[in-house]
């Protein structure tokens, strides 16, 4: 099937035309019959990996659910310590980054090299902004108050003996999520670097963009649930 | 990356014919993405861990020979161990184990045995070694779906093992392999070794996930032309079901162990009753992984048995689809039954639910056993080592499976919980099931993997000794358990001593059997006869290639022309009448 | 398919390309639902305070979680491309969610029903432990294990222990509370000028009978602005009168 994309004949810049990393020159692993098989398999592998991530966070969600059931008062108090505005701001940041990274995939598919890079840069900026809000307005302030997990808890004005558990789950949940933000950002940073230097991704070769994007969306998905659980449910 | 490039030209020698020079050979193995080399590296690493765990097991058995402590005390001056009866000095363990009393040495020993055997040996055992080697070949593929991830998973495995061994060298842990809280969060509070062991299990989980992902995708996407789902050898069905469990269950142990590390280092309190946490929640988290993982251990063994019984009785497997679906059935049910490990800890309602669900496991398992027996019926059974191991499996695994039913029954479990009955039950399943099948599988595929035959008589002798030793060691423990001998105790009442002594003698027989196997294997590698490509007359694709396989597995992409078990109608590839006769069958072509 | 800027999905070598209109639409929908969930939560709080009724707890949970689920489905279908992808990937995710359900479901069944069948077990297996103390357990001389948490609270819950520590540090109750107001004054101010519920006169001190109390949040502990010592207030049931003088 001849499509507009196959018809795309924009030549690679001269210095990259014969570079092995340029997307037009990329091969695929020898044990696959064709490029599509390789692509589909890798994507399926990525989805399997995403299921493992979901189940990893299921541990956090399970802890949250169980302790909310056991100590509803502590959980209600805990939720009131958080300011929904920061949660909502971070949600918006992540949603926008999810959109830009989806656009980045689209740009790679359409060989729009410039917009691919712009979208990736916006995504990375969003990642930085997310972590910044998290650290500056949440962790920093809360830890300063002594609202820390476990024995580091020194907040003198708590009302319920089980509020310590809330903070433990809050830090573990958001901490592991933030770690995933950093991992996802590193993946996208790598994509940006290769795209910048070699134009490594294009219509026939965008697997890495796609899989990094899938990972980033998962980070977004987890936050979509963490936000109401931590900030809105009381 | 160049090794993966399409159309790269390779010479077609055997997969382990490498470049000359020791260093470049080592580098070639360390940097390989060839599933066969990775499988072999896994095999040796896993067998080494088996040895390490086995030494710990022998130490535990030795301690249990006497009702009071065999290793009575430690000389605090010199760190030497002193026996009760003779006062004989056994040499210094104090520095190595870092323990302050002999009690602790015992606790560390059984923890060492459990943790090493479970996390470093039995979970990766069959899938990572035999699975890695044979899954792509049986599919007719050149490699697994993600060769580089495969290599990564091997390195992660090694890293995990290094963490584990480091923890042992720093003194070991005394938590039991299950790391139950609150003991595991408070013991040895000023030491890092417990954290190291927990991290070891955490890291090993990643290796397991990567292997599982790789296999699931390979089975989906890399089957040879003409190979439908129901043309796959049953070993692959078993590996497929195993991999699904690995992918879906392992992340939960990841977060559990991570929380445990936080609990130890920061006292976050989630599993600590003193802060309102719930230790039983830890047990739920832990067993949500660790029960399904029991089937990660046994399912590949079942797959091997399906292969061995069909090939060595030269008969079409009975009930192919039933066996294939029962593998998936076991995988599905495995997620529903974890609560039976904690009957005594949880509320009745959940216990009743879990008890009922646990009985479901018996159905697909029994389907398999009946089909295997029906396969043997009127087959041309060859009593060689793999077949003997398969028959031993049928015997020991059936005992292991059936003794599980009283444990699934709430009323009897309350009596048997945490006794030697449980120990005997899961050793009959894990060792009598998985290890026996693993040994059978290694013997079955040894000629293919290394291109050398082994001494059949020595191997049969080893097999028989292992079988007798195994039953001596563990059958006695059923009696001990029903009489009330609790597990994990160094001391016991005098009445149990006879059975304990028999059990310990059995463990020495086991050691002897495995040493015979070790000798057989070394002799085979050094001076074994060259193996024909198809010594047993198998029909699965691995028997169509050379022994050992060439670097890209096949000279031409294989096309499936017969089913994996069509022994009645197909002349096996590379068949040579001087190797073995074929039963009369006019319809064979 | 030459019209690659229309709603039609193009194909890059057989792979679907999602048009930018759809992507932008999904983003707007996601932002809308984020707004909706915050609005729902605030509206719920407002209803409870304005009409002095108590909505059942599930309203809050079901509202927030169902909106989150819709958002997640949107992300999965369009951003992650499950709608255009092989069904296998969707199946993998659904099976994974099934396992998550089992995990949460069974764990919660157990922890919620330990005393259902035989009520006497309630005392035996108290839910989630006592939460009372972080004592060092007595060390049995026969065993050399060293089970000591890094903090010993001497029989108090860690929350109470920290309060006592701070009281001791400050020397008096007055100093203790003035420290509190000083520490939170800035934040309290900014919270209140941005909080239209406070402007409407619905302050955050109102205590509702259960945990599912819907109150606007400021990132501060509710009830601590009362000018009186909460301990005294607990003794004195006329504490409601005092709260009118509260400091905000």
Q: Three-state SS string across B144-187, please?
A: CCCHHHHHHHHHHHHHHHHHHHHHHHCCCCCCCCCCCCCHHHHC
If one counts every other C-beta atom within 10 angstroms of the C-beta of residue B488, the result is 15
Model confidence at C72: pLDDT above 70: yes
Query: CATH topology for A33-232?
Result: 1.20.120
B262 touching C (Cβ < 8 Å):
no
Residues 52-71 of B with CB under 8 A from A: none
What is the spatial distance between Cα A180 and Cα A126, in angstroms, rounded to a whole number? Answer: 14
Helix axes B234-266, A163-198, angle to 10 degrees: 120
Model confidence at C127: pLDDT above 70: no
Q: In what order do the strands lie in the sheet with B71-74?
A: B71-74, B80-83, B89-92
The tokens for B211 are 């292997």
Residue range(s) defining the domain that contains residue B123: 17-543
- With CB atoms and an 8 Å threshold, state whether A162 touches C131: yes
Determine whether A196 is exposed, middle or buried from the number of CB atoms within 10 Å of its CB (0-12, 13-18, 19+).
middle
Residue B517: predicted pLDDT: 97
Closest partner residue to B248 among C96, C121, C131, by Cβ?
Answer: C96
How far apart, in Å, are the Cα atoms of B481 and each of B210, B257, B407, B475? Answer: 38, 30, 12, 10
What is the spatial distance between Cα B518 and Cα C186, in angstroms, rounded to a whole number? Answer: 74
Determine whether B402 is exposed, middle or buried from the number of CB atoms within 10 Å of its CB (0-12, 13-18, 19+).
middle
B252 touching C (Cβ < 8 Å):
yes
- With CB atoms and an 8 Å threshold, state whether B258 touches A176: yes
Q: Residue B317 phi/psi, 5° resolution? A: -60, 140
What chain A residue is nearest to C158 in terms of C-alpha separation?
A: A161
The tokens for B122 are 């039995």
- Neighbouring residues of C8: CB distance < 8 A, sequence distance ≥ 6: C1, C19
Residues 73-112 of A with CB under 8 A from B: 74
Cβ contacts of C127 on chain A, cutoff 8 Å: 70
Among A18, A184, A212, A29, residue whose Cα is nearest residue A116? A212
Show which subunits contact C, needing at least 3 CB pairs below 8 angstroms: A, B
User: What's the number of CA atoms in the CB half-sphere (13 Å) around residue B245?
Assistant: 31
Q: Give the mean model confidence (pLDDT) for residues A80-99.
A: 93
How would DSSP label each residue in B414-463?
A: HHHTTBHHHHHHHHHHIIIIIIHHHHHHHHHHHHHHHSB---HHHHHHHH
Strand partners of residue A130: none
Cβ contacts of B220 on chain A, cutoff 8 Å: 41, 44
Q: Give the mean model confidence (pLDDT) for residues A106-134.
A: 95
The tokens for C11 are 């194909």
Q: Residue A204 phi/psi, 5° resolution? A: -95, -5
The tokens for A215 are 């990972």
Residue A127: predicted pLDDT: 97
The tokens for B499 are 């059975």
Confidence label for C119 from pLDDT (cuts 50, 70 and 90)? low
What is the spatial distance between Cα A37 and Cα A40, in angstroms, rounded to a whole number? Answer: 5
Q: Report how many domains make up chain C.
A: 1
Closest partner residue to A217 among C23, C41, C79, by Cβ?
Answer: C79
Q: What ipTM was predicted for this assembly? A: 0.92
- With CB atoms and an 8 Å threshold, state whether C116 touches B349: yes
Max distance between CA atoms of chain B, in angstroms, equals 79
> How is chain A split into domains, by residue range?
33-232
What is the spatial distance between Cα A180 and Cα A186, in angstroms, rounded to a whole number? Answer: 10
Cα-to-chain-centroid distance, residue B316: 27
Residue B69: predicted pLDDT: 64
Q: 3-state DSSP call for residue A20?
A: coil
Residue B387: predicted pLDDT: 96
Model confidence at C246: pLDDT above 80: no
B226 touching C (Cβ < 8 Å):
no
- With CB atoms and an 8 Å threshold, state whether B281 touches A63: yes
What is the spatial distance between Cα B179 and Cα B200, in angstroms, rounded to a whole number? Answer: 12
Closest partner residue to C13 among A81, A160, A203, by Cβ?
Answer: A203
In a domain, C21, yes or no: no
Specify the residue for token string 């940073």.
A189
Strand partners of residue C60: none
CATH of the domain at B69: 1.20.210.10
Q: Which of A162-171, A195-204, B504-513 has the highest mean pLDDT?
A: B504-513
Cβ contacts of B259 on chain A, cutoff 8 Å: 59, 63, 172
Residue A2: predicted pLDDT: 35
- Neighbouring residues of B511: CB distance < 8 A, sequence distance ≥ 6: B54, B58, B469
How far apart, in Å, are the Cα atoms of C213 and each of A73, A76, C48? Answer: 9, 7, 9
In a domain, B561, yes or no: no
Cα-to-chain-centroid distance, residue A122: 13
The dihedral region occupied by C31, where left means phi > 0, alpha psi between -120 and 50, and beta the remainder, is alpha
If one counts every other C-beta atom within 10 angstroms of the C-beta of residue C201, the result is 7
Mutate which of A51, A71, A75, A90 to test chain C, going by most C C-beta atoms within 10 A?
A: A51
If one counts every other C-beta atom within 10 angstroms of the C-beta of residue B556, the result is 6
DSSP letter, residue B587: T
Helix axes C57-74, A207-227, angle to 10 degrees: 170
In a domain, C180, yes or no: yes
In a domain, B274, yes or no: yes
Cβ contacts of B490 on chain C, cutoff 8 Å: none
Residue C55: predicted pLDDT: 81
CB pairs under 8 A between B and C: 112
Residue B569: predicted pLDDT: 85
Residue B94: predicted pLDDT: 47
The dihedral region occupied by C223, where left means phi > 0, alpha psi between -120 and 50, and beta the remainder, is left
Residue B583: predicted pLDDT: 67
The dihedral region occupied by C128, where left means phi > 0, alpha psi between -120 and 50, and beta the remainder, is left
Q: Which of A77-86, B117-126, B442-451, C221-230 has the lowest mean pLDDT?
A: C221-230
In a domain, B532, yes or no: yes
In a domain, B567, yes or no: no
Confidence label for C11 from pLDDT (cuts 50, 70 and 90)? low
Confidence label for A16 from pLDDT (cuts 50, 70 and 90)? confident
Tell me the shortest Cα–Cα distance from A44 to chain B, in angstroms: 7
Alpha-carbon dihedral C81, C83, C85, C87, rounded to 10 degrees: 140
Residue B586: predicted pLDDT: 54
Closest partner residue to A30 among B142, B149, B221, by Cβ?
Answer: B142
Show which subunits contact B, needing at least 3 CB pairs below 8 angstroms: A, C
- With CB atoms and an 8 Å threshold, state whether C147 touches B336: no
What is the spatial distance between Cα B138 and Cα B234, in angstroms, rounded to a whole number? Answer: 10
What is the spatial distance between Cα B289 and Cα B123, in angstroms, rounded to a whole number? Answer: 12
Are B149 and C106 spatial neighbours (Cβ–Cβ below 8 Å)?
A: no
Cβ contacts of B277 on chain C, cutoff 8 Å: 128-129
What is the spatial distance between Cα B212 and Cα B180, in angstroms, rounded to a whole number? Answer: 26
In a domain, B564, yes or no: no
Specify the residue for token string 């990572």.
B128
Q: Which of A48-52, A140-144, B383-387, C222-226 has the lowest mean pLDDT?
A: C222-226
Residue range(s) defining the domain that contains residue C239: 172-243
Closest partner residue to B266 among A48, A152, A161, by Cβ?
Answer: A152
Q: Report how many domains make up chain B.
A: 1
Specify the pTM: 0.88
What is the spatial distance between Cα C134 and Cα A151, in angstroms, rounded to a whole number? Answer: 9
> Which has more confidence, B364 or A145?
B364
Model confidence at A207: pLDDT above 80: yes
Cβ contacts of B174 on chain C, cutoff 8 Å: 145
In a domain, B237, yes or no: yes
Are B141 and B188 spatial neighbours (Cβ–Cβ below 8 Å)?
A: no
Cα-to-chain-centroid distance, residue B567: 29
What is the spatial distance between Cα A219 and Cα A57, in angstroms, rounded to a whole number? Answer: 10
- With CB atoms and an 8 Å threshold, state whether B189 touches C132: no
How far apart, in Å, are the Cα atoms of B478 and each of B406, B426, B557, C112? Answer: 12, 11, 52, 35
The tokens for C209 are 């009978």
Residue C159: predicted pLDDT: 81
Q: Residue A111 phi/psi, 5° resolution? A: 60, 35
In a domain, C54, yes or no: no
The residues of C whose Cβ lies within 8 A of any Cβ of B are 88, 95-96, 99, 102-103, 106-107, 109-111, 113-118, 121, 125, 127-135, 137, 143-151, 157-158
In a domain, C83, yes or no: no
If one counts every other C-beta atom within 10 angstroms of the C-beta of residue A149, the result is 23
In chain B (589 residues long), the average pLDDT of successive 10-residue segments reads 41 75 88 94 96 93 81 57 52 49 79 94 95 95 94 97 91 88 77 90 96 96 92 95 95 95 87 82 94 94 96 93 95 93 86 93 95 93 95 96 94 92 96 96 96 95 97 96 91 91 96 97 94 91 91 88 88 80 64
- With CB atoms and an 8 Å threshold, state whether C86 touches A228: no
What is the spatial distance between Cα B281 and Cα B341, in angstroms, rounded to a whole number? Answer: 13
- With CB atoms and an 8 Å threshold, state whether C34 touches A92: yes
What is the spatial distance between Cα B396 and Cα A224, in angstroms, rounded to a whole number? Answer: 50
Residue B73: predicted pLDDT: 57
Specify the residue for token string 């290639």.
B545
Q: 3-state DSSP call for residue B89?
A: strand
What is the spatial distance between Cα B39 and Cα B132, in angstroms, rounded to a whole number? Answer: 5
Mean of all residue pLDDT scores within chain C = 68
Helix axes B348-376, C87-112, angle to 10 degrees: 130
Specify the residue for token string 């020698």.
B13
In a domain, B311, yes or no: yes
Residues 232-261 of B with CB under 8 A from A: 247-252, 254-256, 258-259
Among C125, B104, B147, residue whose Cα is nearest residue A42? B147
Q: Give the mean model confidence (pLDDT) for residues C121-130.
A: 47
- With CB atoms and an 8 Å threshold, state whether A31 touches B281: no
Among B409, B339, A54, B248, residue whose Cα is nearest residue C111? B339
What is the spatial distance between Cα A103 and Cα C81, in angstroms, rounded to a whole number? Answer: 12
Q: 3-state DSSP call for residue C53?
A: coil
The tokens for C245 are 């003088």
Cβ contacts of A92 on chain C, cutoff 8 Å: 31, 34
Mean of all residue pLDDT scores within chain A = 89
Length of chain A measured in residues: 234
- With CB atoms and an 8 Å threshold, state whether B251 touches A56: yes
């Amino acid at each position: 099937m001849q499509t507009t994309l196959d018809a795309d004949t924009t030549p690679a810049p001269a210095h990259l035309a014969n570079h092995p990393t340029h997307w037009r020159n990329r091969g695929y692993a020898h044990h696959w019959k064709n490029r599509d098989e390789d692509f589909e398999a890798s994507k399926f592998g990525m989805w399997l990996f995403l299921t493992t991530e979901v189940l990893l966070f299921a541990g956090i969600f399970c802890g949250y659910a169980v302790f909310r059931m056991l100590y509803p008062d502590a959980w209600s108090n805990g939720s009131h310590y958080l300011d929904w505005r920061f949660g909502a701001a971070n949600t918006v940041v992540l949603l926008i980054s999810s959109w830009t990274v989806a656009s980045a995939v689209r740009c790679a598919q359409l060989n729009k090299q410039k917009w691919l890079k712009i979208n990736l840069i916006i995504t990375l900026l969003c990642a930085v902004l997310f972590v910044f809000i998290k650290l500056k307005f949440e962790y920093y302030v809360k830890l300063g108050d002594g609202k820390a997990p476990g024995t580091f808890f020194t907040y003198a004005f708590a009302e319920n003996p089980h509020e310590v558990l809330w903070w433990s789950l809050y830090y573990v949940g958001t901490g592991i999520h933030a770690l995933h933000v950093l991992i996802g950002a590193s993946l996208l940073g790598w994509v940006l670097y290769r795209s910048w230097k070699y134009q490594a991704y294009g219509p026939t070769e965008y697997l890495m963009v796609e899989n990094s994007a899938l990972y980033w969306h998962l980070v977004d998905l987890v936050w979509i649930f963490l936000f109401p659980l931590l900030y809105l449910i009381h | 990356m160049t090794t993966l490039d399409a159309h790269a030209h390779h010479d077609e020698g055997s997969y382990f014919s490498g470049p000359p020079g020791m260093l470049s050979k080592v580098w070639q193995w360390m940097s390989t993405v060839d599933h066969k080399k990775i499988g072999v590296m896994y095999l040796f690493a896993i067998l080494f861990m088996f040895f390490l765990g086995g030494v710990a097991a022998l130490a535990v058995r030795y301690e249990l020979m006497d009702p009071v402590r065999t290793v009575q005390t430690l000389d605090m001056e010199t760190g030497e161990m002193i026996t009760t009866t003779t006062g004989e000095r056994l040499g210094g363990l104090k520095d190595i184990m870092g323990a302050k009393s002999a009690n602790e040495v015992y606790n560390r020993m059984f923890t060492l045995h459990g943790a090493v055997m479970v996390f470093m040996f039995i979970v990766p055992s069959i899938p990572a070694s035999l699975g890695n080697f044979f899954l792509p070949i049986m599919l007719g593929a050149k490699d697994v779906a993600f060769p580089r991830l495969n290599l990564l998973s091997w390195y992660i495995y090694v890293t995990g093992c290094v963490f584990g061994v480091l923890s042992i060298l720093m003194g070991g842990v005394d938590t039991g392999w299950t790391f139950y809280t609150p003991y595991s969060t408070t013991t040895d509070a000023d030491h890092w070794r417990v954290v190291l062991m927990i991290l070891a299990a955490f890291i090993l989980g990643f290796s397991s996930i990567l292997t599982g992902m790789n296999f699931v995708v390979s089975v989906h996407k890399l089957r040879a032309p003409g190979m439908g789902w129901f043309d796959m050898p049953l070993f692959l069905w078993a590996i497929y079901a195993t991999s699904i469990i690995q992918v879906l269950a392992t992340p939960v142990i990841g977060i559990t162990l991570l929380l445990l590390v936080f609990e130890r280092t920061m006292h976050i309190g989630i599993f600590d009753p003193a802060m309102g946490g719930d230790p039983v929640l830890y047990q739920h988290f832990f067993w949500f992984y660790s029960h399904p993982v029991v089937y990660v251990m046994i399912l590949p063994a079942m797959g091997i048995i399906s292969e061995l019984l069909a090939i060595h009785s030269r008969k079409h497997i009975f009930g192919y689809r039933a066996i294939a679906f029962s593998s998936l059935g076991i995988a599905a049910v495995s997620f529903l039954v974890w609560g039976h490990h904690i009957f005594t800890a949880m509320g009745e309602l959940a216990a009743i639910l879990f008890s009922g669900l646990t009985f479901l496991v018996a159905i697909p398992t029994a389907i398999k056993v009946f089909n295997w027996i029906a396969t043997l019926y009127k087959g041309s059974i060859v009593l060689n080592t793999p077949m003997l191991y398969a028959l031993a499996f049928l015997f020991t695994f059936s005992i292991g499976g059936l003794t599980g039913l009283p444990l699934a029954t709430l009323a009897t479990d309350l009596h048997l919980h945490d006794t030697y009955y449980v120990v005997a039950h899961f050793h009959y399943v894990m060792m009598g099931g998985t290890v026996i099948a693993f040994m059978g599988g290694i013997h079955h595929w040894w000629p293919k993997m290394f291109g050398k035959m082994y001494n059949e008589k020595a191997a049969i002798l080893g097999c028989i000794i292992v079988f007798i030793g195994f039953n001596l060691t563990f059958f006695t423990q059923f009696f001990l358990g029903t009489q009330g001998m609790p597990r994990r105790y160094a001391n016991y009442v005098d009445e149990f001593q006879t059975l304990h002594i028999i059990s310990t003698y059995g463990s020495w027989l086991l050691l002897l059997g495995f040493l015979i196997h070790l000798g057989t294997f070394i002799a085979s590698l050094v001076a074994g006869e060259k193996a024909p490509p198809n010594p047993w007359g198998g029909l699965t694709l691995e028997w169509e290639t050379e022994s050992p396989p060439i670097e890209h597995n096949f000279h031409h992409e294989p096309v499936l022309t017969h089913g994996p078990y069509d022994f009645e109608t197909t002349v096996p590839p590379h068949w040579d009448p001087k190797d073995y006769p074929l039963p009369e069958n006019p319809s064979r072509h | 398919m030459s019209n690659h800027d229309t709603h039609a999905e193009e194909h890059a070598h057989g792979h679907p390309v999602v048009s930018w209109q759809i992507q932008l639409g999904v983003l707007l929908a996601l932002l809308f639902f984020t707004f909706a969930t915050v609005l729902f939560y605030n509206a719920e709080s407002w209803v409870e305070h304005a009409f002095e009724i108590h909505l059942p707890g599930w309203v809050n949970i079901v509202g927030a979680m169902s909106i989150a689920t819709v958002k997640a489905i949107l992300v999965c279908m369009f951003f992650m491309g499950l709608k255009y992808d092989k069904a296998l990937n969707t199946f993998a995710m659904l099976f994974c969610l099934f396992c998550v359900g089992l995990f949460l479901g069974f764990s919660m069944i157990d922890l919620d029903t330990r005393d259902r069948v035989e009520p006497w077990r309630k005392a035996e297996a108290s839910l989630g432990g006592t939460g009372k103390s972080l004592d060092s357990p007595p060390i049995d001389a026969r065993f050399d294990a060293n089970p000591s948490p890094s903090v010993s609270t001497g029989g108090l819950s860690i929350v109470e222990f920290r309060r006592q520590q701070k009281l001791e540090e400050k020397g008096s109750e007055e100093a203790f509370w003035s420290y509190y107001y000083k520490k939170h004054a800035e934040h309290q101010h900014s919270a209140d000028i941005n909080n239209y519920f406070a402007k409407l006169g619905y302050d955050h001190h109102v205590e509702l009978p259960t945990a599912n109390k819907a109150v606007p949040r400021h990132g501060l502990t509710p009830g601590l602005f009362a000018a009186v010592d909460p301990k005294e207030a607990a003794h004195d049931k006329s504490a409601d009168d005092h709260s009118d003088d509260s400091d905000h």
